[in-house]
Structure formats: C-alpha cells, structure tokens
Structure 1
Amino acid sequence: MKLVLRSIAVLSLTVAAPIAPSFAQTAGQQVVDTSGAAVGTVVRVDGGNVVVKTDKHEVALPKTSFTANEGKLLFGMTQAQLNAEVEKSQAEAAKAIAPGAAVKGSDGAAAGTIDAVDADTVTIELASGALVRVPRSGIAAGNGEVVVGLTAAELQANAPAAEAKPEGK
C-alpha cells in the first residue's frame, strides 16, 4: 500500500495546497478530477489518509493529495489513471510474493522464505525448517519487502512439528 501511495504522490498532477486541518472529509463525499469528472467517493478517513472507492478499487490516499472545492474533493488524476496505478502496484506486489522471497514478520524480524504459493495460500519455510501455510490475504509486498501479518515468533509458535520440509526439496 505504501508503494501505491508513493506512486500516486509522484504521479499526482494536482498543484494544490494541502487541505486545511479544519476541513473535514466525510464518508460519501465525491472526489472529482480537475475537469470535474468523477474519480470516486470517500469511504472513510484513516489518520492522514482518505480512503476512496473508485469503480474498481478502494485505495488510501494522503489527505494532502486533495483540494476542497465546492463541497467536493479535487484530485489530480482521472479515475482511469488512479485505477491503472492501483493495478500496476498490485501486479508488482503479486510478482514479489514468489518462492524464494524473504519474508519478514509484522515486527520486522526475519520470518523465513516463501516455499510455495497457490491461489489461496502461501507456504513459508521458517528458519527451523518447519513449513507454515498462511492465507494469501495475510501476506503483502511493497517497498521491496514481503511481510506477513504475524510476528516471526507467532509463526514459529503455530508451526506444526510434523510440517518440516521433506529432505531434498
């Protein structure tokens, strides 16, 4: 997700001032591009990000990417451009989740390496040699790292002893 935010910040065409702290984005508020065409709708505000739902994706964007105008939020990309950037970021992340990739736990500690990937799960080989399967939705890639939603210690604690990787694999 950080990759998406960075890509969007770099590609944003808006030369707008950041939203004043007193300006409140609200769920349901319309987001439009500089020509007035719909980009999406505000779903919620999460800290410094505005979560916008386009026709295809829900994406968190920095508040500073928007300018308030006549009750709407102006954004420097069209809906098609935003969707394309999200899809590009998702494709890059999916390529990173592959056998042999190093995996970090949610605490930043080395957790292991990816042993196998299928449509629903990712199998991680821990330093102990044990194999742990996690849902594919429980692992993410971005900024050159693959991170699982558990700490390395939690993964090891949940590793069944019988799941050790067979010799010669």
Structure 2
Amino acid sequence: MMVLNPRIYLAAAALALVTPAAVAQSPAIVPGTQVVDTAGNPVGTIYSVKGDQLVVETDKLKVALPANSFTPSEGKLLFALTRDQLNQQTEAALAEANAKLVAGANVYGQSGALAGTIDAIDAEFVTLKLTSGKLVRLPRNGIAASDKGAVLGVSASELERLATTGG
C-alpha cells in the first residue's frame, strides 16, 4: 500500500464540510471508522488519526487528509469524493510528486535546510550527495517529493551526523 505524504493535498481536501475541531472532538473518529461518499457508498476506513489529519485506507492506498474534509454522520464520516475518485486523484498527485525525484534534484531536511542533491535514484534506493560531498544511500521511501524538491524524514544536520558516524 502507498501512503501519500500529508503535505500533498488533493483538490477534495479543499471541500471543507466542517471545522477540524468538530471532527477532532468527535469520540467516534477512531481507526476503523467507516468513510462513505455522499451517496453512502464505501470510500474506505480511518486507518489512523494524526492531529488534524485522518489517514484513510481505501482498497488501494492510504492517504492523509485534513480532518475538515469529512462530516460526521450516523457513526460514519461523509467524504465528497467516491473511492475511485480519491484513488485516481491520489495516484495522480503521487505520480506528479515522484516525477520530481530525479538525479540533480535538491534534497532538504525536515527543517528546510539544504542537505544535498539526488545523485542516483531507482525503485528501491536513492543515493544522495550531501553538501559536504559525502554520498549516502537510503531506501527510496526515505525521501518524499515537495514543492522545493525532495524532503527527508530527518534534518540535514542529523543526516550529516549519521553519514559521519555510520548510523
């Protein structure tokens, strides 16, 4: 299953039906809560709740969406898109983001500091050339696309420290 980075928002996320506080305060919003479209058809289930983000698991993927994209109704959550629409839009957003992950793309740490550039990338691994010149090989899922380039799950300084100490 793919998990879409919560930084990538779908057009559907802008379809705010209630405030995030209303969803977050609802005691029924727990993993396993059913998500349905406006016609009552299944979209998926809540996989996890992370602050104001709800991770929805469909038949194909997991995607984090803002809580204000949902409306509680009769123990379920209403969502503006069908399961197929959510899958299609998520896959398109993921493909667009991944297309930016190419050799030469800038790589930033969690705090936004430049860590280096992508030296090589394939389906399993990415090799980063850090700003210090060191080469680091990471699992491909260790980076995610952003508007600026690639983003790491750690800070640039932490990655440099790990590269120097060997982990």
Regarding TM over 0.5, the answer is yes
Question: What corresponds to 2:135 in structure 1?
Answer: 131
Question: 2-side partners of 1:151 and 1:71: how far apart?
Answer: 40
Residue segments in structure 2 that go unaligned for 5+ positions in a row: none
Structure 1 residue identity aligned to 2:132 = S
For the pair shown, the structure with the greater C-alpha radius of gyration is 1
Q: Structure 1 stretches (4+) deviating beyond 6 angstroms?
A: none
- Give the conservation status (yes or no) of the 8 Å contact 2:101–2:149: no
Q: Deviations over 1:131-157 (max 9, x none)?
A: 111111111112333112232223323
Which deviates the most, 74-83 or 147-156? 147-156
Question: What corresponds to 2:19 in structure 1?
Answer: 18
- Residue 107 of structure 1: CA displacement? 2.5
- In structure 2, the CA distance between the partners of 1:95 and 1:55, relative to structure 1 (3 Å rule), is same
TM-score, with structure 2 as normaliser? 0.84
TM-score, with structure 1 as normaliser? 0.83
RMSD value, Cα: 2.1
Listed as ranges, the matches of 1:1-169 within 5 Å are 1-10=5-14, 12=15, 16-18=17-19, 20=22, 22-24=25-27, 25-159=29-163
Question: 2-side partners of 1:133 and 1:110: how far apart?
Answer: 17
Question: 2-side partners of 1:56 and 1:46: how far apart?
Answer: 20
Question: 2-side partners of 1:36 and 1:88: how far apart?
Answer: 25
Residue segments in structure 1 that go unaligned for 5+ positions in a row: 161-169
- Residue 26 of structure 1: CA displacement? 1.9
Structure 2 residue identity aligned to 1:45 = V
- Give the conservation status (yes or no) of the 8 Å contact 1:48–1:63: yes
How many residue pairs are counted as aligned between the two chains? 158
Identity %: 47
